[in-house]
Amino acid sequence: MVLVLTRSTVAEGFKTIKLYVNPESKLIRRMEGWTLSGEKLRFDFRDITVNTGIPASRFLYDSPASANVYNNFLFKTEE
């Protein structure tokens, strides 16, 4: 699977970024980007190790009382 990101304004530092995603693992395996001057940059990600002893508690987020919270807004079914 390839995701293509294009700039929305000329102020951004790239023209295009392509993210190549492994469909089974959903991990990014390659990233290619083109700078404003046309230079191509490429990063390959190999031998990725996930969940290497990082406790789930590190990912807990306590939102401030003033924050707007929308629970499950992407997958909420109409009632």
- Per-residue model confidence as pLDDT tens digits over 55-71: 889 889 888 999 987 77
Residue 53 lies in a domain: no
Indicate if the alpha-carbon torsion angle 5, 59, 27, 74 is positive or negative: negative
Residue 67 lies in a domain: no
Residue 59 lies in a domain: no
Residue 10 lies in a domain: yes
Q: Write the pLDDT tens digit of every residue in 16-46.
A: 999 999 999 999 999 999 988 889 999 999 9
Nearest-CA neighbor of 31 among 72, 3, 71, 70?
Answer: 3
Number of structural domains in the chain? 1
pTM of the full predicted structure?
0.62
Rounded to whole angstroms, the Cα distance separating 47 from 29 reads: 10
Question: For residue 6, what are the domain limits?
Answer: 2-46
Residue 41 lies in a domain: yes
Buried b or exposed e, range 17-32, using 16+ CB within 10 angstroms: beeeeeeeeeeeeebb
